[in-house]
Chain A
Amino acid sequence: MQQIHLTPRAKILMMLMSGCLVILLDSPSALLVCFLASLTFGAVLKPTLRQIRLLLVFLFFTTWGLIYSQAIFYNASPRTVLLTLVPPEFPFIGEMTGGIRVYREGLFHGIVQSLRFNTTLTIGCFIIWTTQPRDLLRALVRLRVPGTLAFMVTTALHFIPVIANEAATVLRSQRLRGFRYLRVNLFATVRGGLNSFRPILAGNIRHATQLGESVESRGFSPDAEGAAHFQTVLTGMRLLDIGLLSALAACIIVILCLKVLYFCYANGLYYASWLRHVYTLTREML
């Protein structure tokens, strides 16, 4: 498969636009199409096997977490009980909560939410994995994101593997000094866990400071004026970028118009008989 090269700015804009798109949509089928499209987009960027495995782990946990939590804690009406986990008469927990149940509507809502979340998560992961930190930084600055914020975002992404390694070392060193994370004394466990953050946080601050000094020593300026003055070698958007972004923008505009029309109809503000098919399409598919 031919790898498609998109400019970092196009990738970021695409992620923002797809975020807007999935917020507009409510139908699971339409959201599923979006999610599959995001996977297709990722596939053309040729991820490595390790990246695919990592993405699958992310997707599994977000899907499972969102569906499970929404199914149990769904609060709106009407709601249909599918399964009772803890009956209301069960001592303490049942009496306190009034029973814990799995609701069909909650399950459905969880699916919708997880499809929304997974679409942006997939696009976001592929953007990060296929974009150089310096290109991401430049793209964010060019998109008028404040330089300091852009640098923070890029540095945070850059340091994820470093932080993971250091966190593992901190936890190991604590355990080698006899500390147990899982024990009866919950207070001590929580305090020990919180203490672990101190060296990790200190390490992050040190790395970020050092990296900040390093890029500043090579002429990068986080303030907009400096950035505009010195960053003259930005790649312009190409036809492919513009085409993809325009298509996405057109989709959003069309769906937004359809949703507005349906909203007016549903709330008795405006109705036109020749738009009946549009109302049906919006209700059923979007």
Chain B
Amino acid sequence: MLPIEIENLRFTYPSRETPTLRGISATVASGDFVLLTGPTGCGKSTLLRTMNGLIPHSSAGTLSGSVLLSGKNVAAQPLAVTCRQVGLLFQNPDEQLFCARVEDEIAFGLENFGFPPEQVAPCIDAALAQVGLQGFRERRISELSGGEKQRVALACFCAMQPKVLLLDEPTSHLDFRGTKDILSIVKRLNTDLGVTTILATHRTAEVAPLCTRVWLMAEGELCLDKPKDEAFSDSGPYHRLGVQVPEIPVGESARYRNVAAISRSRCRSSAGEVSRYRRADASSRSRLLSVCNVSFRYPNTDAPALKPISYEVCRGEVVAVMGANGSGKTTLIHLMAGLLRLTDGELRIGDRNVTRKKRPKPHQLAGKVGIVFQNPDLLLQAETVADEVAFGPKNLKVAPKLLQNRVADTLSRFDLGGLASEAPYSLSRGQRQRVAVAANFSLYPELFLLDEPTTGQDAQHLHQLMRELCVEIKRENRSLIFATHDAQLTLTYADRVLLLREGELIFDGPPDTEFLRQISLM
């Protein structure tokens, strides 16, 4: 009997007219490792939720068709029964962990399933060993890195010994090391314990070497279902949907060792594209940002989040800030935006000096610095997209006629013209991110800061956004600084890279061989 059989599955959310899943039929054999990919909003997460019973048990909507788990209809059996066999790991570890300590988190599921106390302790130890976190039992979850938190979340399911493991973008918040750890654990569970695995992701290059089968989804339909060997023989469907195609068939663990090779290949393959955004001559440009011995320490912490660092950014320059989770990327971005008070050093943005004692108020930096946070939803507060884009210029008292032109111009630049009267929250994640960028861009800031633009984005939307931004930044002689884990994004768009490790600037230079060497060591 096949562990999962999906038959003509359709699902429509209550507030939507069009179905999110449109007649999906597929089967998954025992021990299969399925890579599920597709553009943002195509229904990947919804499909995973129907497989572990969250839909229809915990979500309203209209469901037809069936998902059979070992021959039993998931919709017809209690959710708690399905969850015993099917684990679902979510994207953001911070949003799925519930307890303060690691052992309590893992015990939570076991206790819900009525495991007697004498069985709970050994299960916790075994699960921690499976995810390589021996000795973490007593640790507080708030003290763990992003990658470690995600491993704890995975351990929760390991302890319950599910037959099927579903993973919804499990690495989108993680750095190279965290991603590598999670994927190797998942692969080990799949090969050693025979856990049937379905992993939804945009980062196909990292998962493709591990999978046995590929599902490609588009607009709620499964448009490709093939074994791995055949799945990538024709890259046409992937390109049409803007989904990343694995370029080099790499070995499981070789991917990270070979990052330099991949990146060089990427450089060569997109040389034309890169040259459009790069401007080699930095000496002729004037300085926009100057960071001089800046350090930062969060209150009530011993170690500094940023050790003294110095660098300058010129007008027209696109700079990538890279580093592992917790290396200080976001802290640096927030310092440059004047959102945090420096512990020491001096920062100069245009003609404004920022020191520990002298910090301009955020509204005084409006029009000079624009920032889009990792979670763009925190920027969206207006009722329509047009109002959102107009919010900043209105605050700066731009004349009504100029304002109208500026809003129209910004909307068209970011391909949002057709969505001007839509509510920002009704849009897809990719569209919301574009709105957040446009809402800052309409202020025409001299320094544009972008924190982790890749999170939850498919390749098409991401490159569309970055292309648009880079072209405008170069044309208007402003500067863009973006924090990312994605080496390919850096190689394609950045003139320069700042590489951080544990709050220290270990590399500042062009994305060349030395950068590739440094990043392959991380």
Contacts and interface: CB of A to CB of B under 8 A. Distances in A.
Interface of A: 50, 132-134, 158, 162, 166, 169-170, 172-180, 195-196, 198-199, 202-203, 206-207, 210-221, 226, 229-233
Contacts, number: 152
A50 B300 contact: yes
B79 A216 contact: yes
Interface of B: 49, 52, 54, 57-58, 78-80, 83-84, 87-88, 90, 92, 94-101, 104, 108-109, 111-117, 120, 156-157, 160, 300, 337-339, 361-363, 365-367, 369-371, 373, 375, 377-382, 391-392, 395-396, 425, 439-440, 443
A133 B443 CA distance: 43
Given A199-B377, A199-B379, A178 B363 contact: yes
Given A133-B100, A216-B54, 15 more contacts: A132-B101, A134-B104, A169-B373, A175-B362, A176-B366, A198-B381, A202-B380, A211-B98, A213-B58, A216-B57, A218-B160, A220-B108, A226-B78, A229-B114, A233-B120
Given A199-B380, A216-B58, A177 B113 contact: no
B31 to A, nearest CB: 22
Lowest 9 A-B CB distances belong to which pairs? Answer: A178-B395, A219-B112, A218-B109, A178-B366, A175-B362, A214-B96, A177-B392, A210-B95, A232-B114
B58 A230 contact: no
Contacts of A166: 378
Contact of B380 (A198, A206, A213): A198
Nearest to B371: A176
A35 to B, nearest CB: 28
A177 B395 contact: yes
Nearest to B334: A172
Contacts of A158: 98
Nearest to B100: A132
10 contacts: A134-B99, A170-B381, A176-B366, A178-B396, A180-B395, A195-B381, A203-B378, A214-B96, A221-B112, A233-B114
A109 B379 CA distance: 45
A134 B182 CA distance: 26
Nearest to B392: A177
A211 B91 CA distance: 12
A228 to B, nearest CB: 11
Given A172-B339, A178-B396, A217-B87, A230 B365 contact: no
A18 to B, nearest CB: 25
Nearest to B58: A216
A239 to B, nearest CB: 19
A178 B392 contact: yes
Contacts of A169: 373, 378
Nearest to A176: B362
A269 B339 CA distance: 68
A219 B84 CA distance: 7
Nearest to A170: B378
Contact of A176 (B90, B115, B370, B382): B370
Contacts of A174: 381
* B52, B375, B381, B395: residue with the most chain A Cβ atoms closer than 10 Å: B381
A179 B115 contact: no
Contact of A215 (B57, B108, B395): B108
* B83, B98, B112: residue with the most chain A Cβ atoms closer than 10 Å: B112
Nearest to B439: A177
A3 to B, nearest CB: 16
Nearest to A155: B98
Contacts of B111: 231-233
Contacts of A177: 366, 370, 391-392, 395, 439-440, 443
Contact of B90 (A173, A199, A213, A221): A213
Given A172-B362, A233-B114, A178 B367 contact: yes
A286 B101 CA distance: 43
Contacts of B375: 203
Contact of B49 (A198, A213, A231): A213
Contacts of A176: 337-339, 362-363, 365-366, 369-371
Contacts of A213: 49, 54, 58, 88, 90, 96
A162 to B, nearest CB: 8
Given A134-B108, A210-B90, A233 B378 contact: no
A173 B99 contact: no
Nearest to B82: A217
Contacts of A212: 58
Contacts of A172: 339, 362
Contacts of B116: 232-233
Contacts of A226: 78, 80
Given A199-B378, A199-B379, A215 B49 contact: no
A217 B49 CA distance: 10
B226 to A, nearest CB: 29
Nearest to A222: B58
Contacts of A175: 361-363, 366
A132 B104 contact: yes
Contacts of B396: 178
Contacts of B97: 214
Contacts of A198: 380-381, 425
B381 A196 contact: yes
* A196, A214, A229: residue with the most chain B Cβ atoms closer than 10 Å: A214
Contacts of B113: 219, 230
A214 B391 contact: no
* A176, A199, A202, A226: residue with the most chain B Cβ atoms closer than 10 Å: A176
B98 A179 contact: no
A207 B95 contact: yes
A173 B392 contact: no
B413 to A, nearest CB: 18
Nearest to A171: B362
Contacts of A217: 52, 54, 83, 87-88
* B92, B157, B366: residue with the most chain A Cβ atoms closer than 10 Å: B366
A194 to B, nearest CB: 9
Nearest to A161: B142
Contact of A214 (B98, B382, B443): B98
A229 B79 CA distance: 13
Contacts of B115: 233
* B54, B79, B98, B109: residue with the most chain A Cβ atoms closer than 10 Å: B98
A217 B439 CA distance: 37
B427 to A, nearest CB: 12
B371 A173 contact: yes
B83 A180 contact: no
Contacts of B366: 175-178
A49 B176 CA distance: 37
A233 B54 contact: no
Contacts of B361: 175
A203 B377 contact: yes
A174 B395 CA distance: 10
A181 to B, nearest CB: 9
B473 to A, nearest CB: 18
